[in-house]
Structure 1
Amino acid sequence: MTAGAALSSCGGGSSSTDPQRNAKAKTLTLTIARNAIVGGKNDAEAEWLTKTVIPGFTAAEKAKGLHVKVVYHGYGVDDEAYKTKTALDLKSKAGADIVSLDGIWVGEFAQAGYIKPLSDVVGARADGWDGWGQISPSVQQLGSFQGKRYGIPPSTDGRVLFYNRKLFAQAGLPATWQPTSWNDVLAAGRALKKLPGVTPLQINAGTAMGEATTTQGVLPLLAGAGAEIYANGKWTGGGTAMKQVLGLYQQIYGPSGLGDRKLQEEAKGRDKSFEEFASNKIGVLLEGVYLWRAVLNPKDGIAKMPDRDQAVGYALIPAMAPGKGVKGQSFVSMSGGSIATINPHTKYPQQAFDLLAYLNRPDVVKARIAGNPEVTSRNDVNAEALKGDPFLSYVAQKVLPITLFRPGLAAYTQVSTALQEATASVVAGRSPDDAAAQYGKKLEGIVGGPAHVNAG
């Protein structure tokens, strides 16, 4: 059974729960489930949970006169397999007390009735948690659905424009670059095109790059054109904003030759783009934090770049024109990440929330990222822990306040594929208007007809 089938098979939610049940229990067992296992997938996270969180929490509870045993259920499987198991557990009113979900699953699980708002499960203290003040409202979207919080996001990321300072210098472009419009980006591309053997611009397109095309391409550009892929109960169709996005793809991958069309069609095209960027063969690359931390990392990166810190610059993704982005923004981004939520069928909702809050305490979060800094959801932790990394500090301070997240709805996966196909057709030579119209028709078939689509 697929994850999608598991979720769609549930016709409604579970019965209402009592947030105060067993609130006075002195001896109890809580369980945590995550797709992380010691010695395997997400090893560092599993180590942190088993060696830092569990001993620390049980000691803290013991000091309050409570005897709490915490059991960790770690998995090391494909994300879809983990999603399916978690869905089946929650559907059957089983599973761990604290579960981890990809943020993109939140709406899907909520609509299936598998998870409930924290305020329903725990009561008023969920909204009164002091940590919310340290998590930007934009980042809180990751664990929210229809205006209600379903979980706490531990960390996140962001998308920016990375650029090669050495190539910029050769092309007569500034070492510190911040475009304020799509035209500025194209102008830099034209300047870079004068350099032999250099691909000026690389923005993911096509189906071979999969979800990277959507999150590191279409969605941030769509936000720059003033639209979100899903807003106010409707999906964005093939109207003006989508035509503008596909028009930009045409300007990059069309006759101007600012981008490498073949790269978008190769099975390993994205990996090749990493290698070419690290080898000073791509001028500008729209990518996420992953590129900096895991790909170009001079120590253990996939495509090590020894002079990364000096040679690589980064800039916010501009809207099509100043003030023309979604919510009137001049700069945009997309982010992702997971959340931790409370199983609505837990026997101990209050104690489970104590554990959830402990997982996201500043000192505990700092212990999680010690030795391998990342952008956490907490502003206070980022301000202290990321001081030694200018790029991650930049993302925390400049990107997170303006970022958006993908809609956590079951239809999104198919919508994403349709977006990838639209960009592929433009790269192959089809007109933006035709590609947008084809996407709009396909979208209606996916989401249940034109009533669910904003065609404008």
Structure 2
Amino acid sequence: MPNKRQPFFRSSRLISIVTCAVLFILTGALQACGGSTNATSNSGTTITIAYGQYGPPPYYEQQWLDEVNKQFEAAHPSVKVKLLPIIADETGYYTKLALMMRSSNPPDIVHEDSFLISSDVNAGYLLPLDNYLNSWPEYKQQWTPSMQQMTTFNDHNYAIMTSTDVRCIWYNKNIFQKANLPSTWQPNNWADIISAARAIKAKEPDVIPMNLYSGVPLGEAASMQGFEMLLYGTNNPLYNYSTKKWVVSSPGFKDALNFVKTVYNPADLLGPTNDIELMPNANNVVPQQLIPESKLGIDIDGCWIARNWQPKGTTPWPEWKDVMGTAKMPTEFGQDPKYVTLSGGWSYAIGAHSPNKDLAFEWLKLAHGKDLLTKHTVLIGGTSPRKDSVDNPSYKNIPMSAFSTSLLEYTHFRPGFPAYPKISQEIGKAMQQVMQGQSPTDAMNAFSQAATAIAGPDNVEQKS
């Protein structure tokens, strides 16, 4: 800004220069808010996209990106899209992406694990998309509230979910028949699950009645697919978004631990023995060995495990479609909303320092249109976050697609805050403690103390 004493108003030429400068500053400020029109021509513009490339080919993400970019460049002849693949494992990808986003030449568009959005927002890497998304009616029409909430942090939305997943109950129909249980089964509450497991134990003593992932070695498989599937079915959260505090003690937390204790009670064991359940790779042993070998009756697990049984999967099993049934996970007492699931997934976001924000959002809109996003889901064999993908014939060919999509209205997700990974470890400890004989009350109290130390006393609360 010029010095107040400087008589810049005496020169019309200088007035013109200052006016242009102000317009330039205002234009840049509007672009930073995410909702402006680029002031300069797009001629010769290149937008860049950073994404992860894992393992051996085929690289399905790249195949999809190539198709999106082909259509985008056809619609914008003066614009080129450049892919920036990051070749690394998942952890390495997070590190390299962060380095790229803090560089002097950051990417315009980034592939974001929805779980890490909050930390990347805190680091100043991502652009809020609220203005853009408000101008695109399809978004609120086709992405469920939970899918929108997954990419929201501090009341601003920073990304669009591209892929997601859900969890459910699998059951073996042949084992159910032998246990005099229905071949079409939908438990109405937790008691129904325990009752079915006990019926299997009574009739088929050589079969493991049920599996609920639990204990420290399994990490997120235990805390997310096990404990949180239970906790959110009690209508008690792990994190209170209204008060912005972790809920470190609640009746629901205790009830969830009590369910774990019931499954792993050595006097009436319904789950796998510790030598199986406390293996770090138990979440591979279950779908790749125990289920196809008909050694497990009920499994609370991800809908995606059917990929193991496909012709090119780790354990091809053609009979699975006839043998295996699926059910929704009920709430504790069958109270509204009656069912519960947990979701994770990946999204695409715009870098906070992108010089091409408007074009980047045009790319996001195209990529997340019904046909292209459904193609992405078909390539990776996942669950589409768009509700209308179920109308696509190719999507219907994905095993479990219609069922998985129907679960999205009940979904919850992990609190994506920096404290969560450590709190998740404490959940695993609490589960393992009750497996080994500690009371749910004592295990919850130990968790409460540990979580309070992690998050800080001002950031936790207890519900009675």
Query: Partner of 2:408 in structure 1?
Result: 400
CA RMSD, Structure 1 to Structure 2 (Å): 2.0
CA distance in 2, matches of 1:307, 1:23: 60
Query: Partner of 1:130 in structure 2?
Result: 137
CA distance in 2, matches of 1:268, 1:283: 19
Residue ranges of structure 2 left out of the alignment (5+ in a row): 1-28
Q: Deviations over 1:220-243 (max 9, x none)?
A: 100011122112211121331111
Tell me the SS of whatever aligns to 2:83. strand
Shift, 1:373, TM fit: 4.0
CA distance in 2, matches of 1:104, 1:46: 22
User: 294, 316, 325: which is aligned to 1:313?
Assistant: 325
TM-score, normalisation: structure 1: 0.89
Query: Partner of 2:334 in structure 1?
Result: 322
CA distance in 2, matches of 1:265, 1:109: 33
User: Alignment identity in percent?
Assistant: 29
Name the CA shift for 1:420/1:94 in 2 (closer, same or farther; >3 Å): farther
Paired residues of 1:134 and 1:380 also in contact (CA < 8 A) = yes
Query: Partner of 1:265 in structure 2?
Result: 278
Max radius of gyration: which structure?
Answer: 2
Residue ranges of structure 1 left out of the alignment (5+ in a row): 1-14
Paired residues of 2:246 and 2:459 also in contact (CA < 8 A) = no
User: 64, 75, 98: which is aligned to 1:48?
Assistant: 64
User: 190, 193, 196: which is aligned to 2:205?
Assistant: 196
Shift, 1:131, TM fit: 2.6
User: 428, 432, 440: which is aligned to 2:440?
Assistant: 432
Paired residues of 2:378 and 2:398 also in contact (CA < 8 A) = no
Shift, 1:343, TM fit: 0.6
Query: Partner of 2:363 in structure 1?
Result: 355
Name the CA shift for 1:111/1:438 in 2 (closer, same or farther; >3 Å): same
Paired residues of 1:229 and 1:235 also in contact (CA < 8 A) = yes
Paired residues of 2:148 and 2:160 also in contact (CA < 8 A) = yes
Name the CA shift for 1:86/1:390 in 2 (closer, same or farther; >3 Å): closer
Query: Partner of 2:313 in structure 1?
Result: 301
Query: How do residues 36-435 of structure 1 correspond to structure 2 at under 5 angstroms?
Result: 36=53, 40=56, 43-50=59-66, 52-62=67-77, 67-92=78-103, 94-119=105-130, 124-132=131-139, 133-194=141-202, 195-232=204-241, 233-254=244-265, 255-262=267-274, 263-274=276-287, 275-292=289-306, 294-297=307-310, 299-323=311-335, 328-370=336-378, 373-384=381-392, 385-389=394-398, 391-397=400-406, 399-435=407-443
Bigger mean CA offset, 186-195 vs 254-263:
254-263
Tell me the SS of whatever aligns to 2:412. strand
Tell me the SS of whatever aligns to 2:365. helix
Paired residues of 1:23 and 1:348 also in contact (CA < 8 A) = no
Q: Deviations over 1:341-392 (max 9, x none)?
A: 0011111111111111111122222333446643111111233243334621
CA distance in 2, matches of 1:44, 1:390: 18
Tell me the SS of whatever aligns to 1:184. helix
CA distance in 2, matches of 1:261, 1:429: 14
CA distance in 1, matches of 2:399, 2:144: 20
Paired residues of 2:214 and 2:222 also in contact (CA < 8 A) = yes
Letter paired with 1:302:
T
Paired residues of 2:86 and 2:96 also in contact (CA < 8 A) = no
Name the CA shift for 1:266/1:334 in 2 (closer, same or farther; >3 Å): same
Name the CA shift for 1:388/1:43 in 2 (closer, same or farther; >3 Å): closer
CA distance in 2, matches of 1:241, 1:160: 20
Name the CA shift for 1:329/1:55 in 2 (closer, same or farther; >3 Å): same
| Residue correspondences, number | 426
Paired residues of 1:261 and 1:427 also in contact (CA < 8 A) = no
Tell me the SS of whatever aligns to 1:31. strand
CA distance in 2, matches of 1:106, 1:336: 12
CA distance in 2, matches of 1:147, 1:42: 38
